[in-house]
Amino acid sequence: MKRLFSILAMAGIMTFGTVNATATTSSVSSAATTVATALTQDDAPAEEVGFHQELKKRFIEGGPGFMGIVLLCLILGLAIAIERIITLNLSTTNTAKLTQSVEDALASGGVEAAKEVCRNTKGPVASIFYQGLDRADEDLDSAEKAVVAYGGVQMGQLEKNISWISLFIALAPMLGFMGTVIGMIKAFDKIAAANDMQPSLVAGGIKVALLTTVFGLIVAIILQIFYNYIIAKVDSIVNDMEDASITLMDLLVKHKK
């Protein structure tokens, strides 16, 4: 911009040969330079203050009381969610491959060989197979009851501690709302004490009150995403367990004949 205005200034001097044109062009150039400098200075703080710094600033402004409790809900919820995700991923089994291995073992080595395959395989599906095969020498009804009963046990282990995540999902926004209500009460107390309705008296208190709600909702959203993933993973494993149970009973019927 400076170079452009300088060229315009030179053209004005050469065309009109007046001092006024030069003075006017110089004033415009100085104004443009001042505006550009001001815009650069305004943009600089926006670039320096990142998301994490802004989040930290707002967290501190919200106060250590309710904000600390909301942060504790996030930490505990994430810890349980990560533990469940790792456990569920380790519990996932290639059901088709396991079924084929058990079928081959039944055909070649009998029930004991099939049980050995299940012992060497991790996951709830392999455990259910082992319980059914362990009662294969009895009648099929006993094997089926064992499979159903142990399937319920495995389902309970898969859903272990998930209720705590749902508790933190509900608790975080409630704590945020409570902080908001308490902040509003304090703001109105200031108005009553000052006997004056000035915005400066309540603006800070209302801002702090609303920050607790915002952080409570953020925590609930984060934990809700993990919760839905875990529930979907549990449902997938349970479906595999049910399909595998039906397949196992078919294999036992076929082996009995």
pLDDT of 77 reads 94
76-115 per-position pLDDT tens digit: 999 999 999 999 998 888 888 888 888 888 888 888 888 8
The domain spans of the chain are 2-48, 53-257
* Planar angle of CA 148, 136, 91, nearest 5 degrees: 50
Is the Cβ–Cβ distance between 251 and 100 less than 8 Å?
no
Model's pTM, two decimal places? 0.70
- The reported pLDDT for the residue numbered 119 is 86
Q: What is the DSSP letter of 160?
A: T
- Smallest CA-to-CA distance from 228 within 155, 169, 174 is with 169
Q: Quick one: pLDDT at residue 123?
A: 87
pLDDT value, residue 49: 60
The residues, any chain, with a CB within 8 Å of residue 170's CB and separated by 6 or more, are 220
> What are the average pLDDT values for consecutive 10-residue runs of the chain, which has 257 residues?
39 39 39 40 49 68 75 93 93 86 84 86 87 80 84 88 93 86 77 71 70 88 96 92 86 75
Other CB atoms within 10 A of residue 217 CB: 15
The per-residue pLDDT for 80 is 95
Closest CA to 127 of 90, 80, 163: 90
Please tell me the predicted confidence (pLDDT) of residue 112.
85
Question: What pLDDT is attached to residue 121?
Answer: 86
So what's the pLDDT on residue 12?
A: 42
